[in-house]
Structure formats: structure tokens, C-alpha cells
Amino acid sequence: MRLICLNGWGGKLHDEIVPYIASSDPDILCLQEVVHTPAALEDWLSYRDHGIELPQRANFFRDVTEALPDHVAIFCPAAQGDLWHGETRYPSQWGLATFVRKSLAIIAQAQGFVHGVFSADGYGDHPRSRTAHAIRVFDFTSGQPVVIAHMHGLRDLEGKHDTPARLEQAKRLVQLVKNIAQDGDRVIVCGDFNVLPHSATFDLLNELNLVELVTTRGFADTRTSHYAKPNRYADYLLVNPAVKVDHFNVVRQPEVSDHCPLLLEFS
């Protein structure tokens, strides 16, 4: 099976990311920073916050869904806030999405907040609400289930150091996996955790008997040239011993976001 985990950066590099996803044709795609604005007629909108203005692909979720017609698409919103086209305001949902090949059977799933609660009246103050999604799918090729969970970790304006909120976030993610995993299952946990490699987050995830692949396999960072700040680790992928890793890579080219895709082929 092929899994891709990627922070989509709100679809900012739409012309690069959508063809990459379509041609990679993953069995499962875990995508963070997904924009969903059903009422928008425009392709592009702007996110505005304290003098910052960032382009957002208005219906990024729809774009990726259309690029993966053989997949079930599940959108998990964390908040609804405003995006803009000139002076026109659009209510827009923001969160993460999971795409599962239709030949796989989704036999259990759990969605929940690892930080905060759903914000219906704006994106809110930092650190903003963050959600996670876990699925248990049956792989008919191997005749076994696999549990895959991903989250977008909270962003703290003070940096990526450990905080009580980040430790609570990790505990909630562990519980989300436990809600659907059964003894003997293959388990994969991934996402944009927004923490440093030595974070206590990984000590807490050890409760699931996981090994992190980005750092243990010698990858220096998970960011592309579009990210100019220091502390270039953000994305991680962990597996338990039941997962046979056939291939793992932090994909450098093409650059489709300010994050690199994490590509795992496993059995």
C-alpha cells in the first residue's frame, strides 16, 4: 500500500500539488491545511489576519477530490472563518482531509479535536483549534486491517517547544487511535505535528509502540525552499512493529507546498 502525508498549505501551489497527488495515486492520502468554501465562485480567495494576506485555493478539498476520483474523500473541519475576494466575505471551513481508495473498506473511524473545539464564528486566537482523524481500513490484498491516524498540531506563536497544550494534544491523539485499533493491528500515525524532534510528544506516542521514521532514517528536515524560517522539522510519520516498511521518503521534488510530502510504501 502507498500512503502520502502532506500539509497542503491551503492549496497555495495548486498547479503543482494537484498534478502531483493525481500522478502519485496514493492508496491513502492524509492532507492537512485543507480549505473548503462551497459558496465561492472564485478559484482563489485571501486569508487576512493582522496585516497578513495569504492566497488560499477556495475549494482545495474539491480540487483534490476531483484529482482522486477512485477515492472516498472525508473532510474534517477545525473551524469556519472568513476568506475574502476584494470586499466580498466568504465563510470558509479549514481543517484536514483523508482520501481512501474505494477498493479498501473503511471498517472504523474516529474524528476528534486534539486541541480546543470546533470554532464556528472565526478561526480564533492562537493556538487555534486542531483536529485529527483516524481510520481502520481493511486491505484485501494482505487480508489485514491497518489503522492510520493524522493530525495537524497546534501552532504556538512562541515557537515549537513543548507546552502543556502540546502534551495534552499528544494524549488525545493516542486516545483517538486506541478508540479504533485492535490488538495486532498495523498502526501508522503521521501529520504536521508542529513540534521539534526531541519533543515529549514522541514519548507519549510510545504508548502505541511506534517508531518515528523521519529522524531515525536520517532526513535533515521536512520543509521546502518555500519555508525560510529555522527549525525545519514539522512533519513526522510513525509506525508500529506490525508495519513492514518497504520504502519511506521525504519527497524533495517536486515542491508542492512549504512542506515536503512523506511517502510510505508498506505491507
Instruction: Read off the pLDDT of residues 56-99 as tens digits, 9 standing for 90 and up.
Output: 999 999 999 999 999 999 999 999 999 999 999 999 999 999 99
Give pLDDT, residue 49: 86
What b/e string do you get for 78-87 counting C-beta neighbours within 10 Å, with b at 16 or more?
A: bbbbbbebee
Specify whether the CB–CB gap between 187 and 164 falls below 8 A.
no
The amino acid present at 258, given as its one-letter code, is D
Contact status, residue 181 vs residue 205, Cβ threshold 8 Å: no
Which pLDDT score is estimated for 219?
97
pLDDT of residue 51: 81
Contacts of 9 (CB under 8 A, 6+ apart): 17, 33, 226, 257, 258, 259
Q: In this structure, are residues 74 and 31 in contact, taking their beta carbons and an 8 Å threshold?
A: no
pLDDT of 13 reads 98
Phi, psi (deg, nearest 5) at residue 67: -75, -20
85 bridge partner residues: 88
Name the average pLDDT for the chain. Answer: 96
Q: What is the C-alpha separation between 218 and 197, in angstroms, rounded?
A: 12
Q: Is the pLDDT of residue 28 over 90?
A: yes
Rounded to the nearest 10°, the torsion over CA 221, 224, 226, 231 is: 0
Q: Whole-model pTM?
A: 0.97
Q: Is pLDDT above 90 for 43? A: yes
pLDDT attached to residue 50: 79
Q: How confident is the model at residue 18 (pLDDT cuts 50, 70, 90)?
A: very high
Q: Is the pLDDT of residue 218 over 90?
A: yes
**In the chain, beta strands by DSSP E:** 2-7, 28-36, 44-49, 52-57, 71-85, 88-101, 105-115, 130-139, 144-152, 186-192, 211-212, 235-239, 245-250, 262-266
Average pLDDT of span 219-235: 94
What are the tens digits of pLDDT across the range 153-208?
Answer: 999 989 999 999 999 999 999 999 999 999 999 999 999 999 999 999 999 999 99
Residue 52's pLDDT band (cuts 50, 70, 90) = confident
Share of the chain above pLDDT 70, in %: 100
* Percentage above 90 pLDDT, the chain: 95
